[in-house]
């Protein structure tokens, strides 16, 4: 549960200098970094439980955490491009999605962040954010020009790879792809055992690496099972939040500012419930408009990963280990692209959507499209809940790239490296693009990388400025994946840590 007790303000309400909403990947970093200054009082609020348990620590059982009490159990509306509603995995616990995800730790490519700067986010180019990536980690296996030393996180690749993971790397080399490089270096390409957030054999999240050591500080209060209902204002200034704690509605005030770190679904949802967002949407949901901010809940992005491309094996090939997906490949979907747009993660067990049929024994090629063109929305329903529409495959370019990714995966599956494990060729081998496209539409799954719904920028449609300050509202910032102006081209956890590290400096230094 919580450590310490909130500091009462003169009128009996709970108060701190800074109130951080959401103790997930970003919020845990923020609370730890801000309270390094003993003069700064921080209250960190988390809707979910404060849990460290075997089910969270065990590294290969993470799929079983979805749709439990540590998951928000979000779901999209039925997607026109797929014909299905899709689960949107979001962690609901101290540590957030870092307690429930697949533990991949990949930064993205330099072009991702240079694009942010090009889009008007001054100070977010690769050279400017690299020190924050480095500050977050202890990665002695990497080149010190690019990787960190002595930071809180311990990203490492698996050392003793599963036999099938070894076969995957051999298959990639057989087809001429680069192999063995650091996929968190300055030019990540090809196949490698990528960094995982596994330390001493158990899951490592920012709740453990950053927040746990900070919780002994008297200027930090962590309150779990505290669901924030809305933001509070005095004119155009955010002054605190209203939360439900232990069955009681409580006001928690912030003398300096409130920082939202509730994620790309939770953050826009809280803004909308508080009357900040597109005026027409708010009025339709019956919410009084506090400030018309058309960009809230817009530009929602996610990576698609295809499930169900599973190859049949006659028997189980070794026990599950690590995070089930120790190796991956970053590549282009077509020649001439300036940057990667595909990720093929190898999963050494069957992995599928509930509506797909796969062999009992086998291994899966998970094809991720990492530069989606489709954009969606988070809106507010009349019941106050989130309506999530990623518009998966709305843009035909996304479908084209995924078809290309399936073809690469099928070629990998047919290599000599996989011959000892291949019972038969996959039925899609030798089929047309139209047949593969039909498979793609039925194989779509959320990669769990929601972002962009409160994007940062200097243009009129941006929700926060490059210092992460909410436009038109004083005393309010956002520091989570929702501010990404364009989703990074790898898993989003490492970039979210970086955002929080930089946000702490932006808050500390004005």
CA distances from 375 to 45, 208, 371, 494 (A): 30, 33, 11, 22
Closest to 322 measured CA to CA, from 160, 91, 106, 155: 160
Q: How many C-beta neighbours within 10 Å does residue 298 have? A: 22
User: In this structure, what token pair is assigned to residue 265?
Assistant: 């679904």
Q: Give residues with Cβ within 8 angstroms of 403, minimum separation 6.
A: 433, 436, 437, 440
Closest to 37 measured CA to CA, from 499, 474, 497, 504: 504
Which residue in this structure is represented by tokens 């926060």?
Answer: 464
Q: How many angstroms separate the CA atoms of 167 and 42, rounded?
A: 49
Count H helices, E strands: the chain? 12, 23
Q: How many C-beta neighbours within 10 Å does residue 281 have? A: 20
| CA 329, 330, 333, 337 torsion-angle sign | negative
Query: Which one of the listed residues 162, 348, 426, 449 is annotated catalytic?
Result: 449
Q: How many angstroms separate the CA atoms of 463 and 339, rounded?
A: 27
| CA 90, 507, 212, 227 torsion-angle sign | negative
Question: Which residues sit opposite 179 in a β-bridge?
Answer: 191
Closest to 298 measured CA to CA, from 448, 451, 454: 454
Classify 325 as helix, strand or coil: coil
Residue 492 C-beta-side C-alpha neighbours within 13 Å:
33
Beta strands in 354-502 (DSSP E): 362-369, 377-380, 386-389, 444-446, 476-478
**303 is a catalytic site residue:** no
Q: Catalytic amino acids?
A: 449
């Amino acid at each position: 549960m919580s450590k310490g007790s909130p500091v009462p303000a003169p009128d009996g309400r709970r108060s701190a200098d800074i109130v951080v909403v959401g103790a997930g990947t970003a919020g845990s970093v923020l609370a730890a970094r801000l309270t390094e200054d003993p003069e700064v009082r921080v209250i960190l609020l988390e809707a979910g439980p404060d849990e460290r348990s075997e089910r969270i620590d065990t590294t290969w059982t993470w799929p079983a955490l979805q749709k439990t009490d540590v998951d928000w159990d979000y779901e999209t509306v039925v997607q026109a491009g797929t014909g299905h509603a899709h689960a949107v995995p979001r962690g609901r616990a101290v540590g957030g999605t870092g307690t429930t995800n697949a533990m991949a730790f990949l930064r993205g490519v330099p072009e991702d962040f240079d694009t942010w700067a090009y889009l008007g986010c001054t100070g977010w180019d690769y050279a400017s954010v690299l020190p924050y990536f480095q500050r977050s980690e202890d990665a002695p296996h990497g080149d010190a020009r690019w990787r960190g030393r002595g930071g809180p996180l311990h990203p490492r690749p698996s050392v003793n790879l599963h036999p099938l993971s070894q076969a995957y790397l051999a298959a990639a080399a057989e087809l001429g792809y680069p192999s063995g490089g650091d996929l968190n270096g300055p030019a990540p390409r090809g196949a490698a055992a990528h960094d995982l957030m596994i330390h001493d054999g158990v899951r490592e999240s920012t709740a453990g690496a950053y927040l746990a050591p900070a919780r002994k500080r008297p200027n930090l209060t962590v309150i779990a099972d505290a669901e924030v209902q809305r933001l509070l204002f005095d004119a155009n200034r955010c002054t605190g939040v209203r939360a439900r704690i232990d069955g009681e509605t409580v006001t928690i005030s912030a003398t300096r500012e409130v920082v939202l770190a509730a994620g790309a679904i939770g953050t826009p949802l809280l803004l909308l419930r508080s009357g900040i967002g597109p005026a027409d949407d708010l009025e339709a949901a019956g919410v009084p408009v506090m400030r018309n901010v058309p960009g809230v809940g817009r530009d929602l992005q996610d990576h698609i990963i295809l499930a169900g491309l599973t190859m049949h094996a006659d028997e189980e090939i070794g026990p599950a280990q690590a995070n089930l997906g120790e190796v991956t490949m970053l590549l282009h979907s077509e020649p001439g692209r300036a940057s990667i747009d595909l990720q093929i993660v190898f999963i050494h067990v069957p992995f599928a959507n509930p509506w797909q049929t796969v062999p009992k024994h086998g291994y899966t090629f998970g094809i991720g499209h990492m530069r989606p063109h489709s954009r969606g929305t988070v809106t507010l329903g009349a019941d106050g809940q989130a309506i999530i529409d990623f518009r998966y495959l709305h843009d035909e370019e996304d479908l084209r790239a995924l078809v290309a990714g399936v073809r690469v995966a099928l070629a990998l599956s047919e290599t000599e490296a996989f011959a000892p494990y291949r019972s038969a060729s996959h039925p899609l081998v030798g089929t047309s693009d139209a047949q593969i496209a039909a498979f793609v539409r039925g194989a779509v799954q959320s990669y769990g990388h929601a972002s962009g719904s409160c994007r940062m920028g200097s243009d009129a449609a941006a929700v926060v400025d490059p210092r992460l300050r909410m436009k038109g509202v004083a005393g309010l910032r956002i520091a989570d994946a929702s501010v990404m102006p364009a989703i990074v081209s790898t898993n989003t956890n490492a970039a979210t840590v970086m955002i929080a590290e930089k946000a702490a400096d932006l808050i500390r230094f004005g």
